[in-house]
Structure 1
Amino acid sequence: MNLRLLKAFMTLAEKGNYAETALALAVSQPALTKQINLLESTLNVALFSRGRHGTTLTAAGKRLLPEAEKVIKQATVFLQHAAQVAKGGEGLIAVGFGLSSFYFAPQCIAQFRNRYPGVDVSLEDLPSDQQCEMLQSADLQVGFVRVPAQAPLESHRLFEDRLVLVTPENSRRDVQEWLNALPLLRLYHPRGRGLNAQIDQFLQQNAFAISTTQQVEDIQTIVALVLAGIGVALLPQSVVHIAPPGLHVMALTGEAVQWQIGIAWDPRINDTARDNFIAMVKQG
């Protein structure tokens, strides 16, 4: 249905005069007459009758006018929503994050929701390589990953993260002595692929030997096991600040202790809400 014809119908019903209606709609009177005739022809029903007292609605016109008003109202609401979506004020963003952005990513989302309450945001904990795959398939719109990201993705650096050694107590032991004394707790490879690669690089470049290792499902379990004195762990420094009291953190030096974290996206996919999120994160 042509909304312009319905608008002409509603306005003429309100004013009851072709000349006034044509002026209100900024069209010529012959053009208005043509619109009304076309609508009546399309509906196969007379909507108006002309008399000495002006133009009045027929019985059919009176019956159909509320429906026309409803359609116009729904169309107006639709166009308002479409305008919000077009400028990124409404929509859906799926965001991925990893260990290094465990605290940072939720902060960004909370800030974004305050600015754009009409945008629904989901957050999923995923390794960087999986996030990069999902960004290209549009299953994620934004990812907090190790950067730089590989083409065709684009990325923006946000901060640096570093490895630290977490131990159950503060002592004079050095890194090698801790690795000799207790098992090294690590994430299962599918979950901690990036972190495990960083740990291996650090151990190899510094010629550290480990006595035993124990694989764990998640960071929270690793922290709990360290606090229980069952093992030690090499973790991102950004994760440690959410750990409970009693966990000792040892700063590390040497090669392969740091990496870059940033935000990544697929520029081939147009998404204004996502672009607003990226711009906000870049601004800090």
Structure 2
Amino acid sequence: MEFRLLRYFAALADELHFGRAAARLSISQPPLSVAIKQLEEQVQAQLFERNSKEVRLTAAGEHLLPRARQILALSSQAAQETSDVARGVRGHLRVGFVGASLYRGVPQALQAFQALHPQVRVDMLELNSAEQLQELQQARLDLGLVHSVRPPDDVSSLKLMDEPFMACLPEGHALTALDVIQLPELKNERLILFLSQVSPIYHRRIIEMCQAHGFSPEIRHEVRHWLSVLSLVSLGQGVAIAPASLQRVGMPRVIFKPLAGEQPVSELLAVWRKTPDNPLVQALLGCLREATGDQFPQ
């Protein structure tokens, strides 16, 4: 059944008068009569009883009317929702994130986004940076929040923020008495670090920081999450070189100290597919820029 025929049928069922129904539809009476006849042929049933005095619905017409109205309402709703999605008013976003991003203004960005877009559903999925790039390319994520990466050609990226690395020490460690840590002072320490498979750029960057100061660190533990790094430090299992934002975790028995000199930084990037363009991704990027832009000003 054509939507046009159902719309004509519903208008005539409301008015029960061909002249008024035609005027309401902004057409003349003959096309309305033809349309009703076409619909009756399609459903193989008479829908109206009509004579010179009145027009009435038949039992078949009474049966069809609520269903026709439901179909027309669903069609209108689908059209409106599609328009809303195209305009970035409604939709569904799947956002990947690394755990440390939760301490870098991302929750505030999401709160601001949801306040501006209450009809958009946002699902969050914690994945490491490499996993997020893979999920993006397979269209299972719309946007990712990752550590320093080199995105592939079909993925766009935006650096949201830089932050310094800091020495992360267990409470009571001799070096906590210092205001600033010289990297060579960590030479004989057991280092707790990310697995290279999880974040190869982070892993390599920290190793290269140490090597630039004349030593290769003794890596005692390798883990998948920054919270695991902090937990092991708090238990006295070693020291770490960690992004400054992790101070906000408030892990007991963990002391953060700045590193002396000019050091590489930790980056938080937003990544998304170049095509197709998604207005909701752009809207969320705007909230992320605002929330993270003043976290660690350079």
Q: How many angstroms apart in 1 are the aligned matches of 2:274 and 2:196?
A: 30
- Structure 2 length-normalised TM: 0.84
Q: Pick which of 226-235 and 89-98 moved more.
A: 89-98
Aligned to 2:25: 25
Q: Which residue of 1 is the match for residue 90 of structure 2? A: 90
Aligned pairs for 1:100-139 (under 5 A) are 100-103=100-103, 104-139=105-140
Shift of 1:121: 1.7
The whole-number CA distance in structure 2 between the counterparts of 1:150 and 1:115 is 31
2:99 is aligned with 1:79: no
Query: Helix, strand or coil: the match of 2:249?
Result: coil
For 1:143, the equivalent position in structure 2 comes to 144
- Alignment partner for residue 184 of structure 2, among 151, 158, 176? 176
SS in 2 for 1:185: strand
**2:273 is matched with which residue: 263, 266, 269?**
266
Is 1:205 the counterpart of 2:215 in the alignment?
Answer: no
Judged with a 3 Å threshold, the aligned counterparts in structure 2 of structure 1 residues 39 and 115 are, in CA distance, closer, same or farther, namely same
- Residue 141 of structure 1 and its aligned partner are, at CA, apart by 0.9
Unaligned runs of 5+ in 2: 292-298
Which AA in structure 2 matches 1:176? P
Q: Is the 8 A contact 1:135 1:266 kept in 2?
A: yes
Contact 2:206 2:241 in 1 (8 A): yes
Alignment of 1:165 onto 2:167? yes
- Kept in 1, the 8 Å contact 2:136–2:273? The answer is yes
- Single out whichever of 45-54 and 156-165 deviates more from structure 2: 45-54
SS at match of 2:27: coil
- Judge conservation of contact 1:99–1:236 (CA < 8 Å) in 2: no
Q: What TM-score does the superposition give when structure 1 sets the normalisation length?
A: 0.88
- Tell me what 2:35 maps to: 35
Query: Could you say which residue in structure 2 is the equivalent of 1:242?
Result: 249
Give the AA of the match of 1:160: D
Instruction: Supply the AA of the counterpart residue of 1:171.
Output: A
Please say if residues 183 and 213 of structure 2, whose CA atoms lie closer than 8 Å, have aligned partners that are also in contact.
no
| 3-state secondary structure, aligned to 1:262 | strand
CA distance in 1, matches of 2:228, 2:61: 71
Structure 1 runs of 4+ with >3 Å offset: 147-150, 172-175, 253-256
Cα drift, residue 8 of structure 1: 0.9
Distance 2:190 2:53 in 1: 97
- String of CA shifts for 1:58-97, please: whole Å, max 9, x gaps: 2322232222222223323333333333323333222122
Percent identical among aligned pairs is: 28
Where do 5+ consecutive residues of structure 1 fail to align?
none
**Count of aligned pairs between the two proteins:** 283
RMSD: 2.4
> CA, structure 1 residues 44+259, in 2 after alignment: closer, same or farther (shift >3 Å)?
same
Q: What residue number does 1:278 align with?
A: 285
What secondary structure sits across from 2:177 in the alignment? Answer: coil
Q: Is the 8 A contact 1:88 1:273 kept in 2?
A: yes
Sort the Cα spacing of 1:131 and 1:254 in 2 relative to 1 into closer, same or farther, 3 A: farther
Give the conservation status (yes or no) of the 8 Å contact 1:127–1:194. no
Deviation digits for residues 110-169 of structure 1 (CA, Å, limit 9, x no counterpart) = 322222233222222333233223222212111123367442222222110221111124
Task: Determine the C-alpha separation between the residues in 2 that align with 1:80 and 1:186.
Answer: 50
